[in-house]
Chains A and B, each alone.
Chain A
Amino acid sequence: MSVAQAGQAPAVPYPRLHIVAMGMHADRRRVAPHDRFTVTIDVVVSEKRDRLDELVLGNFDDCTIVGDERRHTALPTGGTQFLEVLTLEAGSPGTAMITAAHLDAIDPKVGHPLRYSTDPVSVQVIAAAPIDSTYVSWSARLGRYARWFTVIVGALAFAAFGIAVALRRRARPRPEAPPVIAQAPAVPLPAPPNALALAFDAFSLARDERTLLALRAQLFAEAGVPAGATLSDALARAAMRRSLRVALVEAEAAAFGPGAARVKAGDALVAAVEAYLAPGGDGR
């Protein structure tokens, strides 16, 4: 979710909403032309509402909307989760692009209108394997023969080069390989920002043990420590990233604290991860 200043004043006043989470995801990354796929836009607000008419969809390139279903659920924390499930039909081979959906609202904490946007979603539309037609023009056939010829000649040249290299190596005495002193320790790569954002969205939508532990694991990965490490390991690696450190500490309280304190820690965790992922935060 990204946040920016809202545009010019609207005819209808902006609603006062605290947007907790906002995301857009496709159920498939690749589809065939004219295949159907779904894109889900999820928005979590702190307020109790039954409609979210302010949500503005983006543009749809190389795909058309064939279905639009809206749902909302009251969350135990007092907020509301809105889901808009779009069924889309892919167009011709290329990239089906769904640009960012957005929502203009006045954040009660800030007091002025802000624009909350999702990330855009793209789906590759890949043509099915070509089927041989009975009619192929001579020029097309020649072109195909020429490509085959190039491939075969290239493969033969590569094989000949390989054989020549192997013969040279056999002829020469092989120098002894230097002894292996130590294997470099495997350093876990930081998780892509999307993985954390997805885990965060999942936790925002349904706060349960599973989504909490998944989010905590992503925060650990973000700090650069593997699963099975402890908070002190993660904090040691995240020394310079204050908002990540705050999120890690809150995740610990939410995961291992007593029941009554978990809800509060969960709220603090959401705020901390939001701050981390916000533009200008340590996570961006």
Chain B
Amino acid sequence: MTHPRAVVSALAETIVGQTETVEALVLALVAGGHVLLEGAPGVAKTLACRALAAAIGGSFKRIQFTPDLLPSDIVGTRIYDQRSGEFATVRGPIFANIVLADEINRAPAKVQSALLEGMQEHRATIGPESLAFPEPFTVLATMNPFDGDGTYALPFAQLDRFLAKIVLGHPSRDEERAIVDRYAAHDPVLVSAVATLDDVRRWQTESRGVFLDDKIRDYIIDIVRASRDTRDVVHGASPRAALALAALSRARAYLEGRAFVTPDDVRSLAPCVLRHRLTFDYRVAATDGDPEAIVTGIVARIPAP
């Protein structure tokens, strides 16, 4: 039986560096959640998503979000077939195991809503039909922190539906050298499948059974509640954040072959669960404050059990 660690290793063969990102993507897959990826162009966001789909032998679709995109471009539509004289359903690109929503903040709210509704329900309605997405179903949405002109900020309620937000940094000098050596002559070759979709469904079921002690549960709640009681935070994290942190912590324990969650699981994952769920006071932006430092401070403030 394949272990999710095999997927991490397979992704590491294609992607140079970005170890934490690769692991976080696999954790989100095991936890059955969706991920928001933020990073400068060219730091392997799209490649990571493609490689993930290839490693689990799943279908992959990429949707480039633009201001003129329509909900039907994502979900699908019904087309009149002249030969049969009937309407036929054409499924949109959201019907895939791994969906890459590239630059999600470039589309208007109604398109974002169509995607986010699908993320929540795992199904879409096209005409009279309600169609389920293939399982596992994971949306990886990217956002570019630069080029803010012509973007539509995702509403707070919609951001809350992403299990985690991963921030990709630039590779180190050695990693960049390795990238040039490896991919200057030819394009990256995606790994072949090291797991099946059945494996992923089994991981998702088994990781939900990982033991979460009451002390760990209270630690999670303390961290989430502390985010609502922080000076520079206007809106703290919702109870959904506590659920997300518990699910991701269980997935990390499962990935590491443990039958129980430890405080380290929670502490290491809390920033990626919290960072997109908090609204910061205007003074933070006005004074060039560092939101990431505030998130880290919240986590550090709560003593581990």
A106 to B20, CA, bound (A): 52
B263 contacts chain A at the CB level, 8 A cutoff: yes
Checking A230, A258, A261 against B304 with a beta-carbon cut-off of 8 angstroms, the contacting residue is: A230
Residues of B within 8 A of A252 (CB): 262
A232-B259 contact in complex given A227-B303, A256-B216, C-beta closer than 8 Å:
no
Q: Contact between B262 and A261 (Cβ–Cβ < 8 Å)?
A: no
Question: Considering only CB atoms, which chain B residue lies closest to A216 in the complex?
Answer: B305
Chain B contacts for A229, CB-based, 8 A: 304
How many cross-chain pairs have Cβ atoms below 8 Å apart between A and B?
Answer: 35
CA distance A261 to B267 in the complex (A): 23
Cβ–Cβ contact A261 & B264, under 8 A: no
CB-contact partner of A231 in B260, B264, B303, under 8 A? B264
Q: Are A258 and B260 in contact (CB under 8 A)?
A: yes
Most buried by A among B211, B262, B303: B262
For the complex, is B261 an interface residue (Cβ under 8 Å from A)?
yes
Report the Cα distance A252→B304, complex, angstroms.
Answer: 12
Q: How many residues of chain B have a CB within 8 Å of chain A? A: 14
Interface residues of B in 241-265 (CB under 8 A from A): 259-264
Task: Name A257's contact: one of B260, B263, B264, B304 (CB within 8 Å).
Answer: B260
Quick one: CB contact mask for A237-257 with B, threshold 8 Å, 1 for yes?
000000000000000110111
* B260 pairs with A230, CB closer than 8 A: no
Asked if B262 contacts A258 (CB within 8 A), the reply is: no
Contact assessment for B259 and A231 in the assembled complex, using a CB-CB cutoff below 8 Å? no
B262 touches A228 (CB 8 A): no
Contact with A along B208-221 (1 / 0, CB 8 A): 00010101100000
**B304 and A256 contacting across the interface, CB-CB below 8 Å:** no
Nearest A-chain residue to B263, judged by Cβ: A230
B261 engages A256 (CB within 8 Å) = yes
Interface size on A, as a range, is: 10 to 19
- CB neighbours (8 Å) of B267 from chain A are 230
**Hey, which chain A residues are within 8 Å of B305, CB to CB?**
255
Contacting pair A256 B264 (CB below 8 A):
no
Closest beta carbon of chain A to B53's beta carbon, Å? 31
The reply to whether A255 and B304 form a contact with Cβ atoms under 8 Å apart is no
Contact between chains at B264 and A230 (CB < 8 Å): yes
**Judging by beta carbons under 8 Å apart, are B263 and A261 in contact?**
no
CB B262 to nearest CB in A, in angstroms, measures: 6
Which of B215, B259, B304 neighbours the largest number of chain A CB atoms within 10 Å of its CB?
B304
Q: A227-B303, A229-B304 are in contact. Are A256 and B262 (CB under 8 A)?
A: yes
Report chain A residues within 8 Å CB of B263.
Answer: 230-231, 256
Question: Distance (Å) between the CB of A265 and the closest chain B CB?
Answer: 10
State the Cβ distance, A24 to closest chain B Cβ, in Å. Answer: 32
With the chains together, A254 CA to B27 CA distance in Å?
25
CB distance A256 to B260 under 8 Å? yes
Query: Which A residue's beta carbon lies closest to that of B304?
Result: A230
Interface hits, A190-249 → B, CB 8 Å: 227-232
**For window 125-147 of chain B, which residues contact chain A by CB distance below 8 Å?**
none
Given A230-B262, A230-B263, A232-B264, A258:B211 Cβ within 8 A:
yes
Q: Is the CB of B215 within 8 A of A255?
A: yes
What are 18 A-B residue pairs whose CB atoms fall within 8 Å in the complex? A228-B303, A228-B304, A230-B264, A230-B267, A231-B262, A231-B264, A232-B264, A252-B262, A255-B213, A255-B215, A256-B262, A256-B263, A257-B213, A257-B260, A258-B211, A258-B260, A261-B259, A261-B260
Q: Enumerate the 5 nearest inter-chain pairs by beta-carbon distance, A residue then B residue, closest first.
A: A228-B303, A258-B211, A257-B260, A230-B264, A230-B263
Binding site for B on A (CB under 8 A): 227-232, 252-253, 255-258, 261
Knowing that A227-B303, A228-B304 touch, tell me 5 more A-B residue pairs with CB under 8 angstroms: A230-B267, A255-B215, A255-B305, A256-B261, A261-B259
